[in-house]
Amino acid sequence: MNDVILKLTDVSKSFDLGGGRALEAISRVNLEVRRNEICVILGPSGCGKSTVLRMIAGLETPTSGSLVLEGRSIEGPGRDRGMVFQAYTSFDWLSVRRNVEFGMRINGVPSAERRDRADHFIKLVGLAKFADVYPTQLSGGMRQRVAIARTLANDPELLLMDEPFGALDAETRWHMQELLVEIAETANTTIVMVTHDIEEAIFLADKIVFMSRHPGRVKTEIVPVFKNGKRIAEKEKVIELDGYSEMERQIMRLMREEGTKD
Ligand SMILES: Nc1ncnc2c1ncn2[C@@H]1O[C@H](COP(=O)(O)OP(=O)(O)OP(=O)(O)O)[C@@H](O)[C@H]1O
Ligand SMILES: [Mg+2]
């Protein structure tokens, strides 16, 4: 079993709403993520999934509790983490290749190496023919692939993804999910991903962290044991496995319990 690289201990976050009012978004969240793991955070809308991810990214500070990555307390954003947001975040005035090279350019990576790495990740996300095209000339799914390639090219220890495929049509989404499994295998990345799509969670996750709402807490952790510790890149193969439907039903019940409140 790989070592724990990310550990959240009793992390709580209250947002100040002004006028003496505060909103407790998450309460005493505990979470451990192991190296090379795909950890999927699942839960109903508003339960605090993005808040947890933003704290791991260092974009938000906890009100109490601790977040430790590779033995160091998370105090702000850092190069060891890369974030892919739900909205497309490519730079429209730069070609695909320049987008992917962007972070490396800022970090002073020499140009030959930069180009090689950019080409490698552009190929990995299946955009080799589009390296010189501008993002506005691409479809939504292709743009999201640019964002993923750009983030991976910075070689983050931890890839953070907040509903990265939420805005995509079903078929593109399914291809992207399969691509992500491939990336996790070939780039050996550790991934924490947020979704509220049950099927996506079961397909991708080595471990599902299910959050309850108001204030968000970790209700339970679910390991899709029926996958036998394997990552399977073809979605229908996962759906066909014994144990898939039962897990889907179990999570639907959890969602329903959480969803009917307030
Ligand atoms: N900057 C903020 N100021 C005040 N309240 C906030 C802020 N950010 C989030 N919240 C509140 O914290 C709670 C959790 O929000 P969060 O965005 O983390 O939920 P989520 O699980 O990601 O939801 P969704 O699935 O809809 O994206 C919500 O009640 C939200 O209103
Ligand atoms: Mg969110």
pLDDT bracket for residue 260 (50, 70, 90): low
> Cβ < 6 Å from ligand 1: which residues?
15, 23, 25, 43, 45-51, 196
- The structural domains of the chain, ordered by start, are 4-80+156-259 (3.40.50.300)
Ligand 1: which of 23, 26, 211, 219 to mutate, most ligand atoms within 8 Å of CB?
Answer: 23
pTM (global) more than 0.75: yes
- Beta carbons of 8 and 49 less than 8 angstroms apart: no
Q: Would you say residue 85 has pLDDT above 80?
A: yes
Whole-number pLDDT of residue 1: 64
Burial class (CB in 10 A: 0-12, 13-18, 19+), 108: exposed
Partners of 117 in beta bridges: none
Instruction: Read off the pLDDT of residues 234-255 as tens digits, 9 standing for 90 and up.
Output: 888 999 999 999 999 999 999 9
Return d(Cα 101, Cα 111) in angstroms, integer: 9
Residue 77, CB-side half-sphere exposure with 13 Å CA sphere: 5
Tokens representing 151?
């983030």
13 residue type, one letter: K
